[in-house]
Chains A and B, each alone.
Chain A
């Protein structure tokens, strides 16, 4: 079945470390997104990409980096510059054709905790 997969489900980061969250989709979607969710809060956009080798900053991009070398993959790196990275991270994908109003697919999320 087609879908979007995030890994790992749980990740612990030491102070000063960079960590990378994986997001893979086999839906042939052009657009992919990363969101951060703090407990009891809504989703905030970190980065998004509409095409391979191109991506745009969202509302809270500082301390994060992404790459889009392949259509199916959009990994998120949480760098040591991100001072408060403990949160739930969600990846999403959707076809780029806005006229069709296609459904947005979400991964199951990754919990990142600083220890």
Chain B
């Protein structure tokens, strides 16, 4: 199975951009890259997902490397409400199995 690797924690100042990296060097051609975030004792919340091309939505942008072995979640202007654990997830194409990274805890300082 594919595997994802994320830094344990990152810090950002409010109103500044944040780049959250994820390595998935064993990704296969049919694996989608998903990003979710989670607050304590809650279910994860959808942020963004993509396959090959960079993606933008109202919450964030997803930059996917050309070889697809890594991706970066970009929060353009961090707010205090963006403080959460961010998970990079591969949806394993053929089986539908979801593979979670260990998550990055994002702290946002006012």
Tell me the A residues contacting B by CB distance below 8 Å: 30-31, 33, 35, 41-45, 48, 50, 56, 88, 90, 92, 94, 96, 98-99, 101, 103-104, 106-109, 111
B-side interface size class: 20 to 34
> Are the C-beta atoms of B94 and A109 separated by less than 8 Å?
no
A44 and B103 alpha carbons, distance in the complex (Å): 12
Closest partner residue, chain B, to A49 (CB atom): B96
Residues of B within 8 A of A103 (CB): 34, 46, 49
> Are the C-beta atoms of B87 and A101 separated by less than 8 Å?
no
Known: A101-B51, A103-B46, A108-B42. A96 touches B96 (CB 8 A): yes
- Besides the known contacts A101-B32, A103-B46, 16 further A-B residue pairs in the complex with CB atoms under 8 A apart: A31-B96, A33-B98, A42-B100, A42-B101, A42-B102, A45-B99, A48-B97, A50-B95, A50-B96, A94-B91, A94-B96, A94-B98, A98-B30, A98-B93, A104-B46, A109-B43
| Secondary structure class of chain A's binding surface, majority of residues | strand
Closest partner residue, chain B, to A39 (CB atom): B40
Closest partner residue, chain A, to B43 (CB atom): A106
Residue B21, interface by CB 8 Å:
no
Chain B nearest Cβ from A94, distance in angstroms: 7
Residues of B within 8 A of A107 (CB): 43
Residue among B30, B43, B91, B96 with the highest chain A CB neighbour number at 10 A: B96
Chain A nearest Cβ from B43, distance in angstroms: 4
Closest partner residue, chain B, to A98 (CB atom): B93
- Residue B100 contacts which of A43, A98, A111 (CB distance < 8 angstroms)? A43
A88 and B43 alpha carbons, distance in the complex (Å): 10
A42 and B87 alpha carbons, distance in the complex (Å): 9
Closest 3 CB pairs of A and B: A106-B43, A101-B32, A98-B93
